[in-house]
Copies of this chain bind each other. A is one copy, B any other.
Amino acid sequence: MSLPHALLTSLVERPGAGLDLARRFERSIGYFWQASHQQIYRELGRMEAAGWIAGDDVPGRGRKREYRVLASGRAELARWVAEEGPVPAQRDALLVRLRADAAIGPVEMVEQVRHRLQQHQARLALYRDIEARDFAGPLTREGRVQHLVLRAGIVAEEAGVGWCREALTVLAEDPVT
């Protein structure tokens, strides 16, 4: 499981409270690993119990606690990074729908593919903005590796856009009407 290590990574980059992390998982880290705040709070509790992180009360801000990574957490993260993990599997209900469409006869799916195309285009534009803003000039090693992570998103979205265009062409050949 990678959630604790995604949290460690984010906290190494910058300490923060549970809700801060939840917000980071809606952008940046969340582009390739998702988690809800409920998951995050539970995992932070476990990680604190394991001695990987420590939480400090933030006075005057309600129950807010800011977490930072301890030495043993940093060691655990280094151990995990070097570990070989499985290649993530594809899982896309739209492809199941298309296959069902092929089997049971034409269903109107152009709108679904168009919607998917828009999402890919929107994410691609976002990633390219980030690329132009943060990775334009000469980079340190840290910058080059961070850029690589962003590039993974960019090539995936480009592939998505290309496939959607192809799909719209094919679906237009045989209109359901």
Please list the residues of chain A having a beta carbon within 8 angstroms of any beta carbon in chain B: 2, 5-6, 8-9, 12-13, 29, 31-34, 74, 77-78, 80-82, 84-85, 87-104, 106-109, 111-112, 115-116, 119, 141-149, 151-153, 155-156, 158-159, 162-163, 166-167, 170-171, 173-174
Contact = CB atoms under 8 A, between A and B. Distances in A.
Contacts of A144: 170, 173-174
A108 B82 contact: yes
B155 A96 contact: no
B153 A90 contact: yes
A33 to B, nearest CB: 6
A3 to B, nearest CB: 9
Given A95-B149, A148-B170, A166-B151, A100 B119 contact: no
A33 B90 CA distance: 7
B90 A32 contact: yes
A99 to B, nearest CB: 5
